[in-house]
Structure 1
Amino acid sequence: MERADFFQQSYIRRRTAMASKPWEGILKYKVPNPAFVDKPEGEDTRKSEQRRREVWKQRTRVFDPETVRTKTQAMQALAAWKAEEERDAWAVDALMPVAEYVERYIDSREAAGELEASTVCDYHKSAKRVSEAFSKLPMRDLDRKGVRAWKDGLVSDGLAPSTVTKALRLLRMVCEQAVMDGDLSDNPCQGVRAPSLGSGKRARNALSDSSMDRLMTALEGADNTPFSTAVQLAVRTGMRQGEICALRWRDVDLVGGHIHITHAIGQNGGQFYVKAPKNEGSTRSITISPDLGNVLVARKEAVEDALASGGMRRGQRGYEAAFGALFVVGSIDGSFYTPTILSREWKALAVALGIVDTEGKRATFHDLRHTYATLAISQGQDVAGVAGNLGHSQISTTLNMYTTSKERSKASAMGAVEKALRGHAPARVIPLRGNGTDGQRPLDF
């Protein structure tokens, strides 16, 4: 594949300060700005030099006035010099240690604004796994055998399959870029299989029927708190935990009957922040069912009462905008519930009520999302519609991840097949001998 030019601008000019006024070539390129500061929440107080993700650098060369006299000759000299500099620039990259190459890849994409802060944090965690094994190995010497041995070593060290998969995925992306840039002839990660996510990982599952009964009974008598509202949203819409925490009242259309999912909560180290949803398909609208509508109306009234006690009432100037900016699962001071707090409160509830999944394991908050999908599909809802509500771009993701494995459901499926088979004419049954024949002719399978 053709690589992008290292030098993004090139031109010539006369060096008028010198007596002979020779031609001069200029090559310009961009590098990450070390002074860059990401846009803060609220008022932007950054200085001008802190706003640019990248800054320009340049190299210059004065051409020999004896051999480069005309503009055409200067353009030819510039092209030859640029090609030479390009080769040297990329040759240095190929000799760069794999670990450093990976870090530069992350920094480059971050500087270009292509990555969320939470993604950058995850990438750096995975990069540490790469650095532990490839801190000195030149990028050009990385091969498939080495990648496979590294992956197997991570598995042997007892790392979770998902952790190993993330590290391998990052290295694969970096190597793909290296192929595009000409630093590798092919991707050494191709053909190296990630560990099965099923090994050592708790299976995604839905709540058991008895647990659902206990949960819904508890919710029926619960106050209109942020936590109870979050649980209702999860089990009735299948929204992700971060999407629930980031939901604002301006995104809830109680008149039109829709929830507009436009943001999620991300995490960068120990800091939580509002960000765009997981992917393009995650930005979506969900229909509000009558029961969920009642829950949201009650929650809204509780928030309005809390505001009124502090002197803010409907009809006052700026009230609607201020109310719309509040988080549904949050406080009247403008703060939101973090996924960590939500998980902690859910764990306490699950332990107190004995809420488990269909395999008898304590249910997580994320299992409410699986429960929504399982209930919707088992009730005959269109899978494409369920996938749309969940924010899945592929229907197969919904089917593979969220169909239930309950014994009752499997037995029901077998019964349905038996019923369908009874509608067909029975085949002629001939008793078989021990040698697999009916005594008249060999059986032809």
Structure 2
Amino acid sequence: MTKKGKKYYVVIYDGIDPATGKEKRRWVAAGSRRDDADKLVTELTKRSHRGETVVSEKLTLGQYLTTRWLPVQESRLRASTYDSYRRNIELHVIPALGERLLDRLTAEDIDLFYASLLREGRKKKSPGAKGDAKGLAPKTVHNIHVMLNKALSDAARKGTVVRNVVALADPPSLQARKRAEIKAWDIDQLVRFLDEIASHRLSPAFFLAAHTGMRRGEVLGLRWRDLDLEAGRVSVRQALVSVAYEVSISDVKTGTSRRTIDIDADVVQVLRDWFKARTEERDGTEPAADDLVFTKDDGSWLHPDTFSQLFDRTVARIKVPDISLHDLRHTHATLLLKAGVHVKVVSERLGHANVAFTMNVYQHVLPGMQAAAADTFSLLIRNARSEATSDLDERDEGDSVEEGDQ
């Protein structure tokens, strides 16, 4: 191990060059901290004792990500996740670090890369983009870090690189980030929207979304066999998603997203009427069990973006706060919580991972519920004291009667 300037390097002996007869040595950057350099020396020593060789191939980060790592991930990841990785590599990583040799990449390089993204955003601008550079959100940069950490961890595990330098970098902290404000309608505003959309062919889809809190893709991915109208239940088993504007059926977002939601009699009737409408559109042929519930009149799939745009156009026509289609889900949850429905029930309807997540997202609703709880507790105390005083008065009255008898 040696030090040049403020950085440490581990010098690896690669044998004799047959052309020159001289020793071949390769310098591996070990960072600016002595502890990190010592750990690298220990790791290389262990590899040597196990008979493993250190790869000396000259491979750039861009080459590794695009030709070796990313193709393997395509069959292992959800389509939307794979597309997110691909776009982040193309738009952010390659323009900044794509030409950097893997064995020359340092944690400091990664730190500076993150700082640049937070400050300036992506280096590869869209054609015709105007205005000053805008930094990426910490959550976006953190997602890039997660991707790179996995990629370089795989490279280290397979011996492509000596170690994963991304693990030594400092990604943006998400602890202090400001949570986006939750937008939701009150009950009158929701009713106004449902009345406005009622005349549209796809109004049953919005009616279901408002009454269940289902995500856009879950509503559009619903099959007829996922409905049990006799029992009043909807089973969420898949989603219709758009990846690079191509529509496909995907698994639901998480394990807890696979759920069953109870629906009321009004929703059941709307869905029964919709079944009849679809049968008429199919010239009297009833939809098959595996057909999607909400489609175009010819049975083809609806594009999720088209569904959102219909919502946006409807909202723009009426006097209600401007919210997104996803905020219809927040509206469902907020109205239930304000009505006193237990947060665990709301969490299950939304398909959240746990109750704690639901409470964190809808903490703006909970303070009012806590105030009601405080009033309830105070009332319990007052009632208990009132009963105790009443019992005492009865005992005192009884004692007085006994004394009079004497």
Give me the TM-score of the superposition, normalised by structure 2: 0.69
Q: What SS is found at the alignment partner of 1:172?
A: helix
What pairs with 1:17-56 in structure 2 (closer than 5 Å)?
none
Q: Residue 239 of structure 1 contacts residue 390 of structure 1 at CA under 8 Å; is this kept in 2?
A: yes
Residue 170 of structure 2 is matched in structure 1 by 192
- Within 1, Cα distance between the matches of 2:86 and 2:309? 26
Q: Structure 2 regions of 5+ residues with no counterpart?
A: 1-49, 121-133, 383-406
Q: Residue 65 of structure 2 contacts residue 151 of structure 2 at CA under 8 Å; is this kept in 1?
A: yes
What pairs with 1:334-349 in structure 2 (closer than 5 Å)?
334-349=299-314
Match of 2:85 among 123, 126, 134: 123
- For the pair 1:174 / 2:151, whether they are aligned, the reply is yes
Q: Residue 117 of structure 1 contacts residue 267 of structure 1 at CA under 8 Å; is this kept in 2?
A: no
Residue 136 of structure 2 is matched in structure 1 by 160
- For the pair 1:399 / 2:364, whether they are aligned, the reply is no
Q: Residue 251 of structure 1 contacts residue 261 of structure 1 at CA under 8 Å; is this kept in 2?
A: yes
- 1:180 deviates by 3.0
Residue 45 of structure 1 is matched in structure 2 by none
Tell me: CA distance 1:329–1:204, structure 2 relative to 1, closer, same or farther (3 Å). Answer: farther
Q: What SS is found at the alignment partner of 2:53?
A: helix
Tell me: CA distance 1:170–1:274, structure 2 relative to 1, closer, same or farther (3 Å). Answer: same
CA offsets, 1:135-167, max 9 Å, x none? Answer: 122223333322221111011112431432332
Residue 295 of structure 2 is matched in structure 1 by 330
Q: Residue 207 of structure 1 contacts residue 355 of structure 1 at CA under 8 Å; is this kept in 2?
A: no
Tell me: CA distance 1:226–1:120, structure 2 relative to 1, closer, same or farther (3 Å). Answer: farther
- Within 2, Cα distance between the matches of 1:402 and 1:184? 45
Q: What SS is found at the alignment partner of 1:355?
A: coil
- Within 1, Cα distance between the matches of 2:376 and 2:235? 43
Residue 106 of structure 1 is matched in structure 2 by 70
- 1:120 deviates by 1.8
- For the pair 1:247 / 2:210, whether they are aligned, the reply is no
- 1:243 deviates by 1.0
CA offsets, 1:277-322, max 9 Å, x none? Answer: 1222222221122222122122222222322xx2x34xxxxx5xx4
Q: Residue 241 of structure 2 contacts residue 304 of structure 2 at CA under 8 Å; is this kept in 1?
A: no
Q: Structure 1 regions of 5+ residues with no counterpart?
A: 1-82, 314-318, 357-361, 426-445
Q: What SS is found at the alignment partner of 2:261?
A: strand
- Within 2, Cα distance between the matches of 1:120 and 1:186? 21
Q: Residue 204 of structure 1 contacts residue 367 of structure 1 at CA under 8 Å; is this kept in 2?
A: no
343-352 vs 173-182, which deviates more? 173-182
Q: Residue 215 of structure 1 contacts residue 353 of structure 1 at CA under 8 Å; is this kept in 2?
A: no
Identity, in percent, stands at 25
- For the pair 1:135 / 2:110, whether they are aligned, the reply is no
Match of 1:379 among 326, 339, 351: 339
Q: Residue 145 of structure 2 contacts residue 166 of structure 2 at CA under 8 Å; is this kept in 1?
A: no
Q: Residue 144 of structure 1 contacts residue 188 of structure 1 at CA under 8 Å; is this kept in 2?
A: yes
Tell me: CA distance 1:198–1:370, structure 2 relative to 1, closer, same or farther (3 Å). Answer: farther
Q: Residue 97 of structure 1 contacts residue 138 of structure 1 at CA under 8 Å; is this kept in 2?
A: yes
- 1:266 deviates by 2.3
Give me the TM-score of the superposition, normalised by structure 1: 0.63
- Within 1, Cα distance between the matches of 2:179 and 2:235? 31
- For the pair 1:264 / 2:239, whether they are aligned, the reply is yes
- For the pair 1:369 / 2:329, whether they are aligned, the reply is yes
- 1:240 deviates by 0.9
CA offsets, 1:17-70, max 9 Å, x none? Answer: xxxxxxxxxxxxxxxxxxxxxxxxxxxxxxxxxxxxxxxxxxxxxxxxxxxxxx
Tell me: CA distance 1:159–1:234, structure 2 relative to 1, closer, same or farther (3 Å). Answer: farther
Q: Residue 326 of structure 1 contacts residue 332 of structure 1 at CA under 8 Å; is this kept in 2?
A: no
- 1:265 deviates by 1.6
Q: CA RMSD in A?
A: 3.0
Number of residue equivalences? 316
Match of 2:278 among 292, 300, 303: 303
Match of 2:110 among 133, 138, 147: 147
